[in-house]
Amino acid sequence: MTHFEKILPEDLVTNKHFRAEKNLGGQQHALSAARAYVRARHKSCLVSFVTGSYSSGRFGEYSDVDIYVIDERVNKPLREQIITTFPIQVAIMDTRHLQRLLQLESVHGSITITHALYNAKYLSGDTHYFDSIHKDAKQRIETPPLYDRRIVYRCRLAVTNNLIKLRKVNTEIEISCAAVKLFQSVIKYLQLENGSWIYNNEFCHLNLHECDEFTAVRTHFSKAVSGDTYDFCDAIAQLLRSREK
């Protein structure tokens, strides 16, 4: 049992694994329930906020209320699942762990936590800290990402290695598998080179700005899967050369 668990009410420690069959009420009722929960359980936390479907407004009758509690007393991340008038799921962590998660997202090009912060609704605590992390999330979502050039280099190297492998395989099955793997690595490489975040109320994703060289690669892909790899390999070589300009 961690130090933080010791200072929580006993029923919170022993009753963590609940799941509601159904919840009733709209967004404002859910936010009110979340605020009441935080006041009762985490009154001294640094900041708390709601994420997920109830913060974005896209909730259903079986939706949970997802809450982040940032508390510097936590020495490792914790999770709580509680039923009040709504099923509530809580992620508890300190600021260092939250920043570590955001840094990992920057490295891997994902946006799960960032998107949660972008839509977050403030509940309690330090408004300056909340505004800061919300502003950072907004900036990342709405502007093109800055990728570490080493990641781009590794993706380009993967394309080159897969191209070499495709030229060495012989059987039809090997050719098909190698061509698909090569094509996937080309797409990932171009996403890192030319990608930008596209955001609307439904989703966030990387939008690939297609170039003429990639259009040629895609044109010859089906022939490569069938066994005729010459034009496909040549188009990828042309694509790599075009990126060097």
Q: What is the mean pLDDT of the chain?
A: 77
Residue range 160-192, pLDDT digits in tens: 888 888 888 888 888 888 998 898 888 877 776
In this structure, the number of other CB atoms found within 10 A of the CB of residue 168 comes to 8
Q: Which two tokens stand for residue 13?
A: 């420690």
Average pLDDT over residues 83-108: 84
Q: What does R_g of the chain's alpha carbons equal in angstroms?
A: 24
Domains in the chain, start-ordered, CATH in brackets? 3-142 (3.30.460.10), 149-243 (1.10.167)
Beta bridge partners of 236: none
Does this model's pTM top 0.85? My answer is no
Contact predicate 166/184, CB 8 Å: no
Residue range 31-55, pLDDT digits in tens: 888 998 999 889 899 999 999 888 8
